[in-house]
Chain A
C-alpha cells in the first residue's frame, strides 16, 4: 500500500514537473532558415538579414502564387578593399528584366527637369561632373592629407586659445576692409603652404556675414556687382542661418565675423578647356592655419574663406556651364556646400579639439546635406515628407529645386545606375549621391531632429564610420546594410518595415522625371537564374541588387560564397527581402 501511495503521489506530481520541460535554444542560422522556409518562409515585405558564413545557404519558397526576392549584399569594408562573391540559385527562375524601370506608364510622362538639365549636362551632367569629381577627389585627398599634417605639427593652435572661436591671428588685409579695397590672396590649390600663387581681388560686396572678393583677373562679362551683392545678402539671409543653425558657427580667426568668398578664375583654371568635368569651387583648410612661426603655413590666407567658380562668357560658347546664367544658378548651392566644409574643419581644429579631419566621403555627404537643408528652408518643405515630383516641381519651388537639390538627386540617380561599381565611401559622383542619401536615411532613422543629428555628426573628434557609430549608438555598417535595401524597396515594395523606407524622398517619383534618366527609375539590378552562377565584385561600401523568383509551390536554395567557394567573411552582409 505504501508503494501505491508513493506511486500515486509521483503521478500527481509528475504533471507539473514534466510541464516544466522547455525548449532547446536554436543557434545555427542554417537550421533556423531551413525550418523557417518549411513553415512558409518570408511573407512579402519580410527579410532575412545575415552575415558571413551564415549567409551561405538560403532556402526560399514559392508559396501559393510564386514569389520574388531581392538579394542585397553589402560589403562593410574600406573603399579600397574588394570582394568577389558567387551566387548560385538551385530552383530559382530569373525574374523579368529590370523591375526597377519606372512602371510602364511613367515612360510617357513629361520630363519635368528636362531643358535646364540638358543644358547643364551637355553630353550628360553626370559624366561631366563625375570626371570633375575625380579631379576634385584628388584635390580633396591632397588637401586633407596636408591639412592633417599641419594639425599634427600643432601650428594652428596658439596655446592661449585652443577650442575657441575667438580671434587668433588676424589677416590684416581682411580684418577691416571696405568695398573697393584690393586684397591679395593665395589661390595655390596644389600645395597648401609652399609656392603661393597670389591673385589680387577687389572687395565687391560686404554684408554682416560675408565679404565677397572678385579676382581682378576674372574674365570680362561675368558677374556684376549686383550679382555679388545678391550673393552676400542671400548668404546672410539664407545660407548662413540655415547652415550654422545645423552644424554650428565656424571659427573666426581673423576676428571679423565674416566669411570670405573669393570668386576667382583660379577655380576655372582647375578645369582645363575641353575637360569632361568641372570644379565648381573649393575650401582649403590651410587658410585656417597661421602663416608665420616655425610650424606656420606661409601659403595660408589666414581667414575663413572658400574659392568660387566665375562665369566665362567666351568659354561658355563651347562649354555652356560657364555662362553667367549657369554659374549664377549653381553659386548659392556651392556656397552652402563649401560653407559646411569650412565649418566642419574649423570647428574640428579650433572648437572640438579633433584628432583628425572628417573623412572625405562623410564630409562631402554633410555638405550635400547642407544644400538639402537650404532647399527645405527656401521651399518651406522639410525632411520626412516623402517628397515626390509633385512637391518639388511646383512652379513656385522649381527655382529652388534647380539651385539646391537637383544635383543631389542627379548624383543619387547616377549612383543607382552604377550601383554595382559604386561605394558609399568613395566621393565620386555616384559615391556622393549614395552618401548623401545614406546620411539623410540615418538622420530620418535617428529619432532626432535634423539639427540635433547633423550637429552631432559635424561636431566630432573622430571621423567616418566611427563618428557615425558614436552618434547612432549602434553600428552604422548595419544601418548601411538596411539603407541598401531601402534603395530598392522604398515606395516600391509593400509591407516593408521602417528600416527599409526612406522617409524624406520618393525617388521613384522624381528620378524618372529627370531627363538624364529617360523616364526610368535608373536602378541597375540583376536577375539570377538557376542556369549558372553569378559572380559579383563589390567594393568596400558597395552593394548590388539581385532579383530571383521561385515558382509557385516550389522550393529553391540560394548559395552565396566567395568566388572560389570559400565562406563569406563576416563583413559581407546579405539581406533577402521578399518583394512579391
Chain B
C-alpha cells in the first residue's frame, strides 16, 4: 500500500518540480471536464482462469480542475468504469463489473513547443470500489486506495471549450470483506483511452 501511494506522490513531486510553462492554465483558473472512453482490464483482473476475467468496457468521469500554479492544475472527480465479467456467468453472477470512485491529483502541462496542442500528464490517487451484482443484490469491495496515471493533449475548440484526448492507467486493491467466508482481495487495473471535453470558467 505504501508503494502504491508513494509512486504517484513521487510522480506528482517531480511534476511540481519541473519548470511549468506560462500557458492557459493560470492560477485560479477553474474548469470542469467530462471524459468518456474505453477501459481495458489488465493483470489479474483480466487473466483467464483467474478471478473475474474482466474484459473491455467503458469509463466515464466528471472532474473539476483548479489552477494552482502556471501550467499546473489540481483536479478532483468521480469516475465510473464498467466492464464485462467473463467468469461471472458460471457462478450465477451478473456479467458486469462496476468500478467507481473518486480521484484527486495534479495535471501538468508539458513545456513542449507543439503548435495548437498542449500536451499534459497527470497523476493522482484514487479511492475506488469494485461492485458485483447477483442474487438480487450488489456486493462492493472495501474502498481501496490506488493510483491513476495519464497523459494526453489539449486541443482548443472554441472559446472556453477544449478537447482533451488521453490515455490512462489505473490500479488499486479491491479487498472483499466477507461476512461468512475468509476475506479475499484482487488488484483491479485497467488501461484506458478516452477523450474529455473541458469548459473553463
Q: Which residues of A contact B (CB under 8 A)?
A: 3-4, 7-8, 10-12, 14-15, 18-19, 21-24, 26-40, 42-43, 46, 48-50, 57, 59, 553, 555, 557
Q: Do A18 and B76 touch across chains, with their CB atoms under 8 A apart?
A: yes
Q: Which residues of B contact A (CB under 8 A)?
A: 28, 30, 32, 49-52, 64-66, 74, 76, 78, 85, 87-88, 90-93, 101-102, 104, 127, 129, 131-143, 176-182, 184-186, 201
Give bound CA distance, A555 to B88, whole Å.
11
Leading 4 A-B pairs by shortest Cβ distance: A39-B184, A34-B91, A18-B102, A11-B64
Q: With A35-B139, A38-B52 as given contacts, are A15 and B102 in contact (CB-CB < 8 Å)?
A: yes
- B119, chain A: closest CB distance, angstroms: 24
Give bound CA distance, A372 to B188, whole Å.
55
Q: With A38-B88, A57-B92 as given contacts, are A50 and B131 in contact (CB-CB < 8 Å)?
A: no
- A45, chain B: closest CB distance, angstroms: 10
What are 9 A-B pairs with beta-carbon distances under 8 A? Answer: A18-B76, A18-B101, A22-B143, A27-B137, A32-B178, A33-B181, A35-B178, A40-B50, A48-B181
Q: Do A555 and B91 touch across chains, with their CB atoms under 8 A apart?
A: yes
Q: Do B91 and A4 touch across chains, with their CB atoms under 8 A apart?
A: no
Q: With A38-B87, A59-B91 as given contacts, are A26 and B179 in contact (CB-CB < 8 Å)?
A: yes
Q: Do B139 and A26 touch across chains, with their CB atoms under 8 A apart?
A: yes
- The interface residues of chain B lying within 8 Å CB-to-CB of A31 are 93, 132-135, 137, 139
Q: With A4-B30, A59-B91 as given contacts, are A29 and B64 in contact (CB-CB < 8 Å)?
A: no
Please tell me which one of the listed residues B76, B129, B180 contacts residue A15 in the complex, with CB atoms under 8 A apart: B76
Give bound CA distance, A244 to B11, whole Å.
75
Give the interface SS of chain B, mostly helix, strand, loop or mixed: strand
Q: With A11-B64, A18-B102, A59-B91 as given contacts, are A24 and B131 in contact (CB-CB < 8 Å)?
A: yes
Residue of A nearest to B139 (CB): A26
- The interface residues of chain A lying within 8 Å CB-to-CB of B30 are 4, 7-8, 11
- The interface residues of chain A lying within 8 Å CB-to-CB of B65 are 11
- A432, chain B: closest CB distance, angstroms: 34
- The interface residues of chain B lying within 8 Å CB-to-CB of A32 are 139, 178-181
Please tell me which one of the listed residues B74, B93, B201 contacts residue A34 in the complex, with CB atoms under 8 A apart: B93
- The interface residues of chain A lying within 8 Å CB-to-CB of B32 are 7
Q: Do A28 and B135 touch across chains, with their CB atoms under 8 A apart?
A: yes
Q: Do A36 and B135 touch across chains, with their CB atoms under 8 A apart?
A: no
Q: Do A28 and B136 touch across chains, with their CB atoms under 8 A apart?
A: yes
- The interface residues of chain B lying within 8 Å CB-to-CB of A57 are 92
Give bound CA distance, A10 to B32, whole Å.
12
Q: Do A555 and B181 touch across chains, with their CB atoms under 8 A apart?
A: no
Please tell me which one of the listed residues A4, A19, A30 contacts residue B135 in the complex, with CB atoms under 8 A apart: A30
Q: With A10-B64, A23-B142, A26-B137 as given contacts, are A48 and B87 in contact (CB-CB < 8 Å)?
A: no
Give bound CA distance, A57 to B90, whole Å.
12
Residue of B nearest to A46 (CB): B182
Q: Do A26 and B201 touch across chains, with their CB atoms under 8 A apart?
A: no
- A558, chain B: closest CB distance, angstroms: 12
Residue of A nearest to B131 (CB): A24
- B87, chain A: closest CB distance, angstroms: 6
- The interface residues of chain B lying within 8 Å CB-to-CB of A18 are 76, 78, 101-102, 127
Residue of A nearest to B141 (CB): A23
- The interface residues of chain B lying within 8 Å CB-to-CB of A4 are 28, 30, 201
- B90, chain A: closest CB distance, angstroms: 5
Q: With A18-B78, A21-B101, A31-B135 as given contacts, are A39 and B51 in contact (CB-CB < 8 Å)?
A: yes
- The interface residues of chain B lying within 8 Å CB-to-CB of A27 are 137, 179
- The interface residues of chain A lying within 8 Å CB-to-CB of B179 are 26-27, 32
- The interface residues of chain A lying within 8 Å CB-to-CB of B138 are 24, 26
Give bound CA distance, A29 to B91, whole Å.
12
- The interface residues of chain B lying within 8 Å CB-to-CB of A23 are 129, 140-143, 177
Q: With A26-B137, A34-B134, A48-B181 as given contacts, are A14 and B76 in contact (CB-CB < 8 Å)?
A: yes
Residue of B nearest to A60 (CB): B91
- The interface residues of chain B lying within 8 Å CB-to-CB of A43 are 182
Q: Do A15 and B104 touch across chains, with their CB atoms under 8 A apart?
A: yes
- The interface residues of chain B lying within 8 Å CB-to-CB of A12 are 66, 76
Interface centre among A30, A35, A59, by most chain B C-beta atoms within 10 angstroms, is: A35
Interface centre among A23, A31, A59, A557, by most chain B C-beta atoms within 10 angstroms, is: A31
- A39, chain B: closest CB distance, angstroms: 4
- The interface residues of chain B lying within 8 Å CB-to-CB of A24 are 131, 137-140
Q: With A38-B88, A39-B186, A557-B91 as given contacts, are A29 and B180 in contact (CB-CB < 8 Å)?
A: yes
- The interface residues of chain B lying within 8 Å CB-to-CB of A19 are 102, 127, 143
- B139, chain A: closest CB distance, angstroms: 4
Give bound CA distance, A40 to B180, whole Å.
15
Q: Do B101 and A40 touch across chains, with their CB atoms under 8 A apart?
A: no
Give bound CA distance, A26 to B133, whole Å.
10
Q: Do B102 and A39 touch across chains, with their CB atoms under 8 A apart?
A: no
- The interface residues of chain B lying within 8 Å CB-to-CB of A35 are 93, 132, 134, 139, 176, 178
Give bound CA distance, A27 to B178, whole Å.
9
Give bound CA distance, A29 to B176, whole Å.
14
